[in-house]
């Protein structure tokens, strides 16, 4: 498991008191995180990984599983590095 996945999983388990889900499980379909919790998740990733999530990016394809989040964080961090370089 990647460091990003591990940090996300630990935060989700500690914040929402859930366990026993895979990295590909949908947070919403499996009722692991509700809509209010998704706002908390966005605030966490912005703080933890140092970027701002744009409104257009707040979609299930980016946020609805550990796998989706890991890819989203990687894209955002890559974009930040490209802008800084």
Hey, what long-range contacts does 73-79 have (CB within 8 A, 24 or more apart)?
73/4, 73/45, 73/49, 74/4, 76/49, 76/51, 77/49, 77/50, 77/51
The pTM assigned to this predicted structure is: 0.90
Q: Read off the tokens for 25.
A: 């499980």
List the chain pLDDT tens, one digit each, 85 residues: 799 999 999 999 999 999 999 999 999 999 999 999 999 999 999 999 999 999 999 999 999 999 999 999 999 988 656 666 6
CB atoms under 10 Å from CB of 79, counted, come to: 11
Domains of the chain plus CATH, in order, are 3-84 (1.10.1200.10)
């Amino acid at each position: 498991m990647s460091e990003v996945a591990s940090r996300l999983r630990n935060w989700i388990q500690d914040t929402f008191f859930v366990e026993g889900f895979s990295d590909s499980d949908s947070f919403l379909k499996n009722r692991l995180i509700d809509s209010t919790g998704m706002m908390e998740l966005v605030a966490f990733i912005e703080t933890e990984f140092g970027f701002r999530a744009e409104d257009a990016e707040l979609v299930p394809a980016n946020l609805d599983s550990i796998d989706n989040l890991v890819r989203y964080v990687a894209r955002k961090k890559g974009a930040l590095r490209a802008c800084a370089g």
